[in-house]
Amino acid sequence: MREARWTFNPYHQRLDEAMTRHADPSTADTEGSVWEVFQMQRRGDAFEHVGAVHAGDAEMALLMAKEQYARRGRCVQLWVVPSTAIVATPIADADIFEHATDKSYREAFGYKLAARKRKLAEEASQEES
């Protein structure tokens, strides 16, 4: 544990003071709990992770997320999820996703979607004329 340093920025100041009271400073936080924010840009789109906010409870987190992440661009809906609810694989274990042998038979290389769409569109316009 160490002495708090004086900083110009009041947010950094509070964070620094909180860190002096914690044995494990990397978990110190003065601004309530952290919530991960997900955004749906247009109805029917998948939710995308856009970042995090600090707030005391879920309602406040939604309010804050609107300002942090929906100020620009499109948004029709937001999720906030306590960061503690997220369970993740350790990044150090990224190798569990690698393939030891060639498994490219799982890929959709042979399925030419764009060509099929074009063919169906041509057939549809031929039927109309």
Partner 1 sequence: MEPLKMLLFALADDELLMGHRASEWTGLGPILEADLALSSIAQDEMGHALLFYDLLGALGETEPDSLAFGRSPAEFYNAILCELPRGDWGETLMRHFLYDLAEQVRLEALAASSYAPLAAVATKLRSEEKYHMLHGSTWLKRLGQGTEESHRRLQSSLDQLLPYAVGLWETIPGEAALVAQGIMPPSNTLRDQWYATLTSVLTSTFALPALSDIAPVEGGRRGEHSEHLVSLLDAMQLLHREFPGAKW
Q: By CB under 8 A, how many residues form the interface with partner 1?
A: 15
| One-character DSSP codes across 35-56 | EEEEEE-STTSPPEEEEEEEES
Per CB under 8 A, does 74 bind partner 1?
no
Using CB under 8 A as the binding rule, the residues of this chain from 84 to 113 that contact partner 1 are none
| Measured CA distances, 32 to 16, 21, 35, 60, 129 (Å) | 15, 16, 10, 10, 64
How far from the centroid of its chain's Cα atoms is residue 26's Cα? 21
Report, in Å, the least distance between residue 5 CB and partner 1.
20
| Segment interacting with partner 1 (CB under 8 A) among 54-62, 78-86, 92-100, 110-118 | 54-62
Per CB under 8 A, does 51 bind partner 1?
no
Q: Return d(Cα 88, Cα 103) in angstroms, integer.
A: 25
Per CB under 8 A, does 47 bind partner 1?
no
Q: Which of 68, 75, 79, 81 binds partner 1 (CB under 8 A)?
A: 68
Per CB under 8 A, does 11 bind partner 1?
yes
Per CB under 8 A, does 71 bind partner 1?
yes
Q: What is the maximum span of the chain, computed from C-alpha positions, in angstroms? A: 82
**First-residue to last-residue Cα distance in the chain:** 80
Residues near partner 1 (CB under 8 A) are 11, 31-32, 53-56, 59-60, 63-64, 66-68, 71
